[in-house]
Amino acid sequence: MRAVLPDLVRALDEDGSVVLATVVGTWGSAPQPAGAAMLRRLDGRVVGSISGGCVEGATYELAEQVQDTGEPVRCRFDVSDDDAIAVGLTCGGTIEVHVERVDVDQRPLWTTVLASVRDGRTTTIVSAPPADGAPPAPRILLEDVALDGVDGWDGDDLARVSVAASAGGGLVRLGHGPTGPDPTSPDPTSPDPTSPDPTSPDPTSPDPTSPDPTSPGREAFVSVLEAAPRLLVYGAVDFAAALCDQVRLLGYRTTVCDARAVFATSERFPSADEVVVDWPHRHLEREVLAGRTDGRTVVCVLTHDEKFDLPLLTLALTRDDLGYVGAMGSARTHHRRVASLADAGVPPERVARLHSPIGLHLGGRTPAETALAIAAEVTASRHGASMQHLRGAQTPIHGRATPAVGHLRPAVPGA
């Protein structure tokens, strides 16, 4: 969703409406995660992708229909369906797509979303299809509403949505919608053991299996647009420049920091979002105290200088709010570094968190190849992947694997 936001707002400004197709559910080895989005503009242009090419054609046809009728549609493609094979869903799994027309009256909401993403704030968008016999619930930004309810949404539904948002988003059942009661609640059709005649339901009670016209919908889709994860690169070297280039493709916001002002310049690091002149450990301490780090933050130490490395790594390895800490150097440098950290009082279990020598063993040596090796290890670490070849693997490609223990590390920087 994040990638299409600027074009969505632009389309509303220029055309007054646009069709938005969103992946709202995936099962198995689906090609894109829930939240992936594609736009169809009035002139037929397409922005974004929902399946990496598998079902775009079929979704494009649905978007043409939705543009004309204004009525949203939901479609599920499964690898076992003939229709799925026909449109190219040969990668496995199931994908469910919601296609809707977004009109200019929603522009204020989407402008707010775009501004939040650009400012680095996490934003949660909640949308729900209309229930039978009820008006559609308005799309809302969860951070802007109180949990006791807002127009079209009640407090109970917002509580369910909040739980889903804290778990990363996805589909959530709302109250007693057309498909039945909330599956997390006790089954209202079950006999009450305290009733004198459990086989005779109370005729004055509503039918729990019928649609509730007061419900805003049977389910909602919760899309959490997290603030971009951060990459903090310490050491204004050519490897840092290549790494900033590489991780921009992964959506990271990058900072390069070095105490040497002559090297830490924006001209040398044009793809970095920020270049800072400061001692590395002081910069990291300031970022931590300001609350600008979290479990997705990546720290890469590329300085090769113990007077910078040791205080920085001592701080980084004792923090629980950093997702990855890696340091460049040869195998000999790594062993000396481990000994120095132990002498500095860093516990062995904390030292074991250090990815050093940094990166996967890809065999490369150039800055670009080294950046690829580092980015690959960061990605695998973030997803808990095994870092094994997919060829011959017996686990799902997009599943969460068990992290490897003691995987091979390069013997030299950039290997």
Average pLDDT for 17-45 = 87
Say how many residues make up the chain. Answer: 415
Does the pLDDT at position 310 exceed 60?
yes
pLDDT category, 389, cuts 50, 70, 90?
confident
Same domain membership, residue 134 and residue 99 = no
Same domain membership, residue 219 and residue 93 = no
Same domain membership, residue 146 and residue 70 = no
Bond before 357 cis per omega within 30 degrees = yes
Average pLDDT for 71-94 = 65
Same domain membership, residue 238 and residue 215 = no
Same domain membership, residue 371 and residue 237 = yes
Domain count of the fold of the chain: 3
Same domain membership, residue 379 and residue 234 = yes
* pLDDT score of 360: 94
Q: Of 152 and 366, which is predicted with more confidence?
A: 366
Same domain membership, residue 216 and residue 82 = no
Tell me the C-alpha to C-alpha distance, in Å, between residue 293 and each of 165, 301, 324. 20, 16, 11
Residue 3 counted as domain residue:
no
Same domain membership, residue 235 and residue 140 = no
Q: Of 88-92, 185-189, 228-232, 303-307, where does mean pLDDT reach its minimum? A: 185-189
Q: What is the pLDDT of residues 235-248, one digit of tens each?
A: 999 999 999 999 99
Does the pLDDT at position 44 exceed 60?
yes
Residue 186 counted as domain residue:
no
Residue 263 counted as domain residue:
yes
Residue 409 counted as domain residue:
no
Q: Of 44-48, 152-156, 278-282, 345-349, where does mean pLDDT reach its minimum? A: 152-156
Share of residues in the chain with pLDDT > 70 (%): 76
Residue 191 counted as domain residue:
no
CATH of residue 264: 3.40.50.720
The model carries a pTM of 0.70
Collect contacts of 25-28 with beta carbons under 8 A, ≥24 apart. 25/76, 25/94, 25/95, 25/96, 25/170, 25/171, 26/93, 26/94, 26/95, 26/96, 27/93, 27/94, 28/79, 28/92, 28/93, 28/94, 28/396, 28/398
CA distance from start to end of the chain: 35
Q: What is the pLDDT of residues 113-134, one digit of tens each?
A: 999 888 878 899 998 766 555 5
Going by their DSSP bridges, the two strands 298-301 and 230-234 should be labelled as: parallel
* pLDDT score of 31: 67
Does the pLDDT at position 346 exceed 90?
yes
Which residue type is seen at 319?
R
Same domain membership, residue 169 and residue 278 = no
Residue 301 counted as domain residue:
yes
Residue 98 counted as domain residue:
yes
Same domain membership, residue 365 and residue 235 = yes
Domain boundary among the residues 192, 227, 262 is at: 227
Structural tokens at position 32: 């894109």
Average pLDDT for 46-54 = 80
Residue 152 counted as domain residue:
yes
Phi, psi of 213 (to 5 degrees): -65, -15
Domain that holds residue 347: 230-383
* pLDDT score of 148: 65
Domain boundary among the residues 227, 255, 283 is at: 227
The DSSP bridge partners found for residue 25 are: 96
Does the pLDDT at position 66 exceed 90?
yes
Same domain membership, residue 246 and residue 137 = no
Q: Of 92-101, 148-157, 247-256, 287-296, where does mean pLDDT reach its minimum? A: 148-157
Does the pLDDT at position 34 exceed 60?
yes
Average pLDDT of the chain is 80
- List the Cα angle 364/369/373 in 5-degree steps: 85
Same domain membership, residue 158 and residue 79 = no
